[in-house]
Amino acid sequence: MANPGNSASSRDVATLLHPQTNFRAHEKQGAVVIARGEGVRVFDEDGKDYIEGMAGLWCASLGFSEKRLADAATRQLNTLPYYHIYNHKSHDPGIELAERLLALMPVPMSKVFFANSGSEANDTVIRLVWYYNNALGRPKKKKFVSRQRAFHGSTLMAGSLTGLPALHREFDLPLGGVVHTDCPHHYRGALPGESEEDFATRLAENLEKLIIAEGGAETCAAFIAEPVMGAGGVVVPPRTYFEKIQKVVKKYDMLMVADEVICGFGRTGNMFGSETFGIQPDILVVAKGLSSAYLPISGIAISDPVYQAIADNSAKVGMFGHGFTYSAHPVAAAVAVETLRIYEERDILTHIRAVAPVLQDGLRRFADHPLVGEVRGVGLVGAIELVRDKATKEAFRPDERIGPRVAKAAETHGLIIRAMGDSIGFSPPLIITADEIDQMLARFRKGLDEVWAEMGREAQK
Ligand code: PMP
């Protein structure tokens, strides 16, 4: 770096606004500039390698160098780089992707709508559900029930579905029409001695109370949930949770929306998290793993009753007045088709099921570390929650920033992971091998032990 003033990091600081970032901290610490990727690793501009323990943002399922995806994009760019699907136009990549997606669905679905991101997809869900209930002559039935600590995106309405205070505060969110029920985190939310089943029963009862308080079946339209909460800290629901929640949702004639943006395409050990947890959604949202994140694309699959109602209304009012310039973008769709082919040809589910125990058992070996309060996870996603006191579960103060400190320490040892508060998330590319999982966890242990030792020294001062 001959001229640090002109390094990529300082050019970054001079020009780029980063998502979900403390800008003043960024000015001081600068950027880790990632230059290339290979398998489950990425390399910074100095050539240092990192295992990508989060597959980027839970999305690069096939790792960072899948040539078949680059070739699929190039072929499509050279054939038809862009076309839309408005005005009764269509193209083969969009059609094939819809066919393949519908064939994978965990419950029968009728049609797919494409957007470019998870946020746009969830905004689309809201518009769809409002349109659907207008179509059925139920103009008051519009409220969405989401959950505390949910993450459903960052646009105004998807951001309103999100249940994370840091994404609401200072932005005047949530907007009206969205209410939040309990987060199903047994470790943090259960009463002393309460079993997972009893906790789930109580949460279902609370959901029913909330729905009644909000006006019941007349006003409550849909319940939206990630099968495993991701950005809220990797929250795996307690046993019997979705079974009990779903009964309430059905009782009030609400639609069940599964946000499978993280869980879709194998993450939890089945093709969809809905299968892992027995969810029967009316609407299912995918993104991220749909294209292994090589190009932005998301999809919303809807059941036939939902389709029939909105189709009738589109005929009555003239159209379904919603869509994006890039809905079913042909290059993104071609890459997604190739991604789904690869999942099938390489039998990605069998691979995930073979290596998931290596990750889950490996994470659980951290349970007796003095900083670790809880280890949780399923399939190829997990988290380690750090606490001040294991016995009382006392958390660190947010300003102590222990989670980010451990993540930073792991990074110096060549592992990129994500601190969500003091929960450290793991969601590696689905192609990761058992050996690479061992390397990933060894790098994490170095970072964790280093912070623990530093904390001991700081306490003696
Ligand atoms: N839903 C879930 C469950 C997500 O994890 C995310 C992104 N992390 C989104 C929606 C939003 O996706 P995007 O960032 O593509 O808008």
Model ipTM value = 0.99
pLDDT value of residue 383: 98
pLDDT value of residue 5: 67
CB of residue 259 inside a 6 A radius of ligand 1: yes
285 C-alpha vs ligand 1 centroid, how far in Å?
A: 10
pLDDT value of residue 460: 87
Q: Which CATH superfamily is domain 32-65+347-460 in?
A: Aspartate Aminotransferase, domain 1 (3.90.1150.10)
CB of residue 125 inside a 6 A radius of ligand 1: no
Under 8 Å CB-to-CB from 167, ≥6 apart: which residues? Answer: 151, 154, 159, 173
Alpha-carbon separation of residue 423 from 232, 430, 440 (angstroms): 9, 21, 17
Running along the chain, 461 residues long, what does each successive block of 10 average in pLDDT? 71 97 96 97 97 98 98 98 97 98 98 98 98 98 98 98 96 96 98 98 98 98 98 98 98 98 98 98 98 98 98 96 98 99 98 98 98 98 97 95 97 97 98 98 98 92 79
Choose one of 58, 59, 61, 119 to mutate for the ligand 1 pocket test, by most ligand atoms within 8 angstroms of C-beta.
119
* Residue ranges, CATH 3.90.1150.10, the chain: 32-65+347-460
CB of residue 57 inside a 6 A radius of ligand 1: yes
The token duo for 449 is: 């032990």
CB of residue 226 inside a 6 A radius of ligand 1: yes
Q: Is CATH 1.20.1370.20 the right assignment for the domain spanning 68-345?
A: no
Q: Half-sphere exposure (CA, 13 Å, Cβ side) for 421? A: 18
pLDDT value of residue 461: 79
- Measure CA 37 to chain center: 22
CB of residue 262 inside a 6 A radius of ligand 1: yes
- Measure CA 148 to chain center: 15
CB of residue 267 inside a 6 A radius of ligand 1: no
Which residues sit opposite 376 in a β-bridge? 383
pLDDT value of residue 120: 98
Under 8 Å CB-to-CB from 212, ≥6 apart: which residues? Answer: none
* Residue ranges, CATH 3.40.640.10, the chain: 68-345
pLDDT value of residue 90: 98
